[in-house]
Structure 1
């Protein structure tokens, strides 16, 4: 049965208004910038702050305190009990619910084995690596067979190399989990890899939701466009030309009409010191406002009408000697520009 939640939290200067539906076996990622309300939503579902009405079939959680809700939580810093062994940490929730110690320990051993920590039963949290601590926290959350699993930035405390491996392990466990999962994160890669559906939250409101592929292909806010690395504009289309809301015009290959979003990748933008000869369909003057060096490319921030991001090679940077204040020409093929209704 689908879990349905209506979350309404009001406090000075901020309102959270969020409706969520999570199907059995589904992983929903709640993604958004700092201050969007992600952690508040998680805490409301957990019963740690008032404001969430939760229904699963005929069962409701209204008024239930946190300790009586059928949930498991993995916190960003894991919050393992430092004085307890890994086995006792995993068994803690079962014991708190009245399970006898031998049965709780047996279940805890099974879960430590499932997460690849057989032989670590007597280890204390301070002796575990970050990845091992994360797996103990996950085992503790799942050992009670919760109806809802809440993951609060579960990979944020890990270094980059450990994160890659643990993300893959977490994805495998989530695929086997039959309950409802809400993943709260600010990392788009975690959301894209782990979630079946992504809900984008900004300033306490849902601004977009869909499968990872849908969100990547059709961002609807500047925040989402920045996450997925696309140039995004709003405009009004008339055939193969779009007049942009903030100034400028772009030619497109596929005719459209009415209000649209316009997107294209920074890699589609070419930069030239002089206006190119011939008749490229989108050419406009720009000024370099910033340069960011990445592993294999350089991202150039350009002011113009419209402003634009361009990803260029190191060789292009050397040829153009890019620096803030330089004036250039941006060139964009109409076939690289995509529109969809706004």
Structure 2
């Protein structure tokens, strides 16, 4: 069964208007920049912010206060009760809903066992690592058997070394959860690894959605293209020639007609001091406007028609002695360019 949400929230000058559907057993990620409306959407679903309509399996949640909605939430900072034991934290939800203490504790211990923390039942939250606290927060959210699990930046509080391991653990737990899951994040890797489907929010609106592989291959906004590390343009195709909206023309391998998006990786761009000759390819003059060292490559920001990002090796930087202001030639094979309809 599907959870349907029509979220309409106005707060100050911000307007959220987004429709969401989440299937049972599915993980949907809301991904977007700061201020896009992700947290507002989560709060509206949880009943913490009024706005919109939510139905699940034919039951309307409109008007239900937060404490009566069948929703479990894992907050960014986990918000565990410091004065309670781990067991009491997890048992808190069932007890607050009228479950007797012995039954609530048994249920809490079962959920702790599922996340591998039954041996920490008597511990206090301050003694836990970040990864352990995250798993306790997940167990607490699931202890009430919610229809909807909301994850608000669940890995943001972890350091980089812990994050990789906990992300893998969380993915494993989510695969066994039979309810509806909505993940709110600004981290594209979290969304790509954890979600079955991604909804991109910008300015309070859904601008793209699809399976992670689809979003990566065919970004539809500058924000998404930047997230996945692609050069991104809009243009109009006439057979194998694409005239770009912001200036410049590219030759592509696959013929197309009409408005298209154009993408290619920065690694596909080569740089030369002189105009290259040889096999047919796209070449155009560019000027170096920025240089940024990455792990194993150097990213070069280039002005031109079109402006472009190029990833080159350290050897290329040394050979060309790259400096801001240098005038070069960019080269790009037609076969490296991917186009798709707008």
**TM-score if structure 2 supplies the norm length?**
0.99
Deviation at 1:192, TM superposition (A): 0.3
Give CA-to-partner distance per residue, 1:6-56, whole Å, 9 cap, x none: 000012211100000000000000000000000000000000010031111
Aligned to 2:40: 40
The 2-side partners of 1:201 and 1:280 are apart by 40
Aligned to 1:245: 245
Residue deviations 1:222-259, cap 9 Å, x none?
Answer: 00000001011000000100000000000000000000
Alignment partner, residue 107 of structure 1? 107
Partner of 1:95: 95
**What does residue range 1-342 of structure 1 map to in structure 2 within 5 Å?**
1-342=1-342
CA distance, structure 1, for counterparts of residue 254 and residue 8 of structure 2 = 42
Q: Give the Cα–Cα distance (whole angstroms) in 1 for the partners of residues 89 and 101 of structure 2.
A: 12
Of stretches 320-329 and 266-275 in structure 1, the one that deviates more from structure 2 is: 320-329
Given that residues 280 and 332 in structure 1 are in contact (C-alpha distance below 8 angstroms), is that contact kept between their aligned partners in structure 2?
no
- 1:57 deviates by 2.7
Of residues 307-316 and 30-39 in structure 1, the stretch that sits farther from structure 2 once superposed is 307-316
CA distance in 2, matches of 1:90, 1:301: 50
3-state secondary structure, aligned to 2:236 = strand
Structure 1: runs of 5 or more not aligned: none
Distance in 2 (CA, whole Å) between partners of 1:120 and 1:221 is 46
Structure 1 residues 295-304 or 168-177, which shifts more? 295-304
Q: CA deviation at 1:279?
A: 5.0
In the alignment, the residues of structure 2 paired with residue 8 and residue 337 of structure 1 have an alpha-carbon distance, to the nearest angstrom, of 39
**3-state DSSP class of the match of 2:276?**
coil
Q: How far 1:278 moved relative to its partner?
A: 2.9
**SS where residue 119 of structure 2 aligns?**
coil
* TM-score, normalisation: structure 1: 0.99
Q: Is the 8 A contact 1:280 1:331 kept in 2?
A: no
Distance 2:127 2:317 in 1: 47
Whole-angstrom distance in 2 between the partners of 1:20 and 1:121: 37
SS across alignment from 1:200: strand
The separation in 2 between residues aligned to 1:298 and 1:98, in whole angstroms, is: 59
Which range moved further: 237-246 or 281-290?
Answer: 281-290
How many residues are paired up?
Answer: 342
Residues 237-288 of structure 1 deviation map (CA, whole Å, 9 limit, x = unaligned): 0010000000000000000000000010111000111111235420011111
Over 4 Å off, 4+ runs: none
